Amino acid sequence: MSDWQTLLQQVEDCTLCPLYQGATHKVPGQGDPNAPLMIIGEGPGQVEDEEGLAFVGPAGQLLTRMLSAINLPRDRVYICNIVKCRPPQNRVPTEEEAAACKTHLREQFRLVRPKLILLLGSTAARQTIGPEIRITRDRGTFFCKAGVLMLPTYHPSALLRDPAKKREAWEDMKALRSKLMELGLYEDIYGPYENE
């Protein structure tokens, strides 16, 4: 079995925390396994739980629009969540659930080896950068962790609840685009599509 098949099987068989009991489908994540950009959200919502895919509900549709606004085709990035099973009523995952599920996230990180990570919302940012992160204060700032640049921004669900935040989120997407360009990665993602 390839490393990816092993990872998917481990997520499928996972009972490391109680969330698996309520899951219709596990949601490991999807996208380009060689993407220079990884996007991490919080955990599957209702539609994701039904379909087994990350960010395919209303927040996911907004995420797709945010990425296309900076010309990033969604299938050229790798998208996943802190937890792979839907928490009841979409509550925030507990520390124990997030810690257990990091076994899988670490493996995804090892396999994708992204150069840049976009962190959607407080849970993703605090679980990867550190508990000191405050999303309203720290969004839009690049953090370097384990040799990888990480950019926290608002979760698309927060933008759906409070459209006034969209202006700042747009600034963050532009900062992401500039950083990808500065690192020579923008063409990595977009280039092959331009030539089709």
CB-wise, 85 or 186, nearer to ligand URA?
A: 85
Q: Which residue is nearest to ligand URA (CB)?
A: 41
User: Which of the ranges 49-57, 100-108, 168-176, 179-187 carries the binding residues for ligand URA, by CB under 6 A?
Assistant: 49-57
DSSP label of 88: G
d(CA 44, CA 57): 9
Residue 90, number of CB atoms within 10 A of its CB: 13
Q: Does 45 bind ligand URA (CB under 6 A)?
A: yes
Q: Does 172 bind ligand URA (CB under 6 A)?
A: no
Q: Does 66 bind ligand URA (CB under 6 A)?
A: no
User: Which of 5, 43, 14 minimizes the C-alpha distance to 157?
Assistant: 43
Least distance CB 182 / ligand URA (angstroms): 27
Name, in order, each residue with C-beta under 8 angstroms of 94's C-beta and a sequence gap of 6 or more: none
Q: Does 54 bind ligand URA (CB under 6 A)?
A: yes
| Residues 108 and 29 sit within 8 Å (Cβ to Cβ) | yes
Contact residues toward ligand URA (CB under 6 A) are 41-45, 48, 54-55, 57, 59-60, 81, 157
